[in-house]
């Protein structure tokens, strides 16, 4: 089965593009959603997080306190390593279980992993057959995130500085979607790539 890693900077339109592929029949695994699931109340990461960081890392409802952990990681780089040492293997495990079920079901022409930090995280590139980058101007990203999250410009810029640059992403892309235009223009690009991915899946099935 053809497996594709979809990535892009914050606000580039990854979720929107992924939903368009899903509407055309692609299987989707969103690693950001999995990260939220394992850190929700009762999630698989909660007990090891409390062991590592104490009960102060949780909100009263039992979910990981994302703001508290963000502040902690910001002031202590070893906390980032410890946090990722807990969450990354769990995300990988859930991802693999879901991918296995999708491959076995045979119901989808191809599988798309949505991985915000694909370029930054290193191991992902080798795990997928192709990398699809959703690309847009930085000003477009900034405007979208301000509108979507109510962040200030400086907050968006601070997040973008911690992410790979456009050039770094484009350097590893097999396919690029330009998302500076309208939703209609986006759909036309998704349609073209959907046809490509279906044809590549057919080739690998008969090879």
Residues that bind ligand ADP (CB under 6 A): 8, 10-16, 144, 148, 179, 182-183, 186
Shortest spacing between CB 188 and ligand ADP, in angstroms: 11
**Nearest CB to ligand ADP, comparing residues 79 and 176:** 176
- In the chain, what are the helix, strand and coil shares in percent, each to the nearest 5? 60, 15, 25
Shortest spacing between CB 191 and ligand ADP, in angstroms: 15
Shortest spacing between CB 138 and ligand ADP, in angstroms: 13
**Nearest CB to ligand ADP, comparing residues 11 and 53:** 11
- Comparing CA positions, the residue from 185, 138, 183, 192 lying closest to residue 16 is 183
CA distances from 90 to 71, 76, 94, 123 (A): 22, 22, 6, 15
**Nearest CB to ligand ADP, comparing residues 12 and 87:** 12
Shortest spacing between CB 56 and ligand ADP, in angstroms: 29
- Comparing CA positions, the residue from 76, 107, 93 lying closest to residue 1 is 107
Backbone angles phi, psi at 54, to 5 degrees: 85, 165
Shortest spacing between CB 178 and ligand ADP, in angstroms: 10
**Nearest CB to ligand ADP, comparing residues 85 and 183:** 183
**Nearest CB to ligand ADP, comparing residues 89 and 181:** 181
Beta strands in the chain (DSSP E): 2-7, 27-30, 110-114, 130-135, 175-178
Shortest spacing between CB 80 and ligand ADP, in angstroms: 21
| Residue 189, CA atoms < 13 Å, CB-side half-sphere | 20
**Nearest CB to ligand ADP, comparing residues 78 and 182:** 182
Q: Report residue 135 as tokens.
A: 């690309």
């Amino acid at each position: 089965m053809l497996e594709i890693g979809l990535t892009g900077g914050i606000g580039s339109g990854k979720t929107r593009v992924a939903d368009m592929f899903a509407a055309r029949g692609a299987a989707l695994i969103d690693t950001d959603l999995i990260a939220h699931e394992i850190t929700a109340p009762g999630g698989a990461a909660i007990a090891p997080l409390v062991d590592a960081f104490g009960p102060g890392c949780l909100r009263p409802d039992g979910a990981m306190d994302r703001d508290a952990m963000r502040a902690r990681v910001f002031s202590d780089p070893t906390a980032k390593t410890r946090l990722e040492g807990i969450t990354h293997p769990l995300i990988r495990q859930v991802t693999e279980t879901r991918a296995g079920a999708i491959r076995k079901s045979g119901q989808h022409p191809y599988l798309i992993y949505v991985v915000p930090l694909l370029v930054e995280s290193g191991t992902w590139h080798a795990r997928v057959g192709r990398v699809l980058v959703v690309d847009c101007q930085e000003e477009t990203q900034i405007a979208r995130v301000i509108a979507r999250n109510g962040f200030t410009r400086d907050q968006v810029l601070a997040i973008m500085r911690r992410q790979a640059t456009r050039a770094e992403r484009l350097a590893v892309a097999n396919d690029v979607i330009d998302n500076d235009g309208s939703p209609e223009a986006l759909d036309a690009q998704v349609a073209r790539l959907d046809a490509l991915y279906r044809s590549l899946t057919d080739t690998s099935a008969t090879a």
